[in-house]
Amino acid sequence: MATRYHPRVLPSHDLSRRLRAVADANKRAWWERYLKGAIPFYGVPMAAIRRTVHEWIAAHGLEGEALRHAAFDLLRMPVAEEKLAGISVLQEVLLPAGMLDVARDLDVIATAFDEGAIADWNTTDWLCIRVLGPWIEAGGDDAAARIAGWVGAPGLWRRRAGVVSFVPLAARGDAAMPRLVDTVVQVCEATVQDQERFAQTAIGWVLRELSDVAPDRVFAFLMAHEETLSREAVRMAAARLSEEQRAALGIRGKRRRR
């Protein structure tokens, strides 16, 4: 059973106030339209979120366990920029300092997914690309195995994270970590029957990156699962394959170069 995280009293509301103070109503409206109302926004660019986070940390003297708990509190707050602020703390402070524990803290994040605190593609993908992918590389086989296991999770967004977390490493293949190519193919195999759009596009995305180093493995996977994968996923995954491979998959147009 995943570890349940109990939020603590922290100065999170002050960070929300600071974010609102630098918000732009036009940006808020654009992002809320773009995500079709999946999550509310303040309208703060990422650079301003990062700057505000570091000012907030300094103002409250947050460090150590207090900062770790603050990051997970922020992931559970309702507005997109609050969640992105939590991701920023994890990415820029806690992960580089070795302050995250694979067994303990991946369970905390899994619980946040399962309880609906992370429930949109924007938050999921930022977390995967900025934190979970680098964490896999730093944490090795244990982190990779635990996150790969998320493809069997009950909720779509944790299932997507079980695939997208490998995107930052996939283009380097086994040079990023041993057996990475096999692991990526395995998470795609475990996900291929999932017809949710964001599960299918997760496969397309990670295989597109993997095709830089293992094009024949990607092509073989697409041919084997052509009837199950969505056309959107196939087009994404095949974007950098050879013209001959793309033609065999029924894809017209020039290949995308990296």
58-117 confidence digits (pLDDT tens):
999 999 999 999 999 999 999 999 999 999 999 999 999 999 999 999 999 999 999 999
For residue 100, what are the CA distances in angstroms to 42, 90, 107? 28, 8, 11
Q: What is the DSSP letter of 5?
A: P
Give the model's pLDDT for residue 37: 94
- pTM comes to 0.92
Give the model's pLDDT for residue 3: 43
Q: State the Cα–Cα distance between residues 15 and 70, nearest whole angstrom.
A: 10
What is the crossing angle of helices 12-21 and 46-60, to 10°? 140
Q: State the Cα–Cα distance between residues 241 and 223, nearest whole angstrom.
A: 13
pLDDT band with cut points at 50, 70 and 90 for residue 131: very high
Q: Are 203 and 191 in contact (CB under 8 A)?
A: yes
Query: Cβ neighbours of residue 161 under 8 Å, at least 6 residues apart?
Result: 113, 124, 127, 128, 132, 147, 150
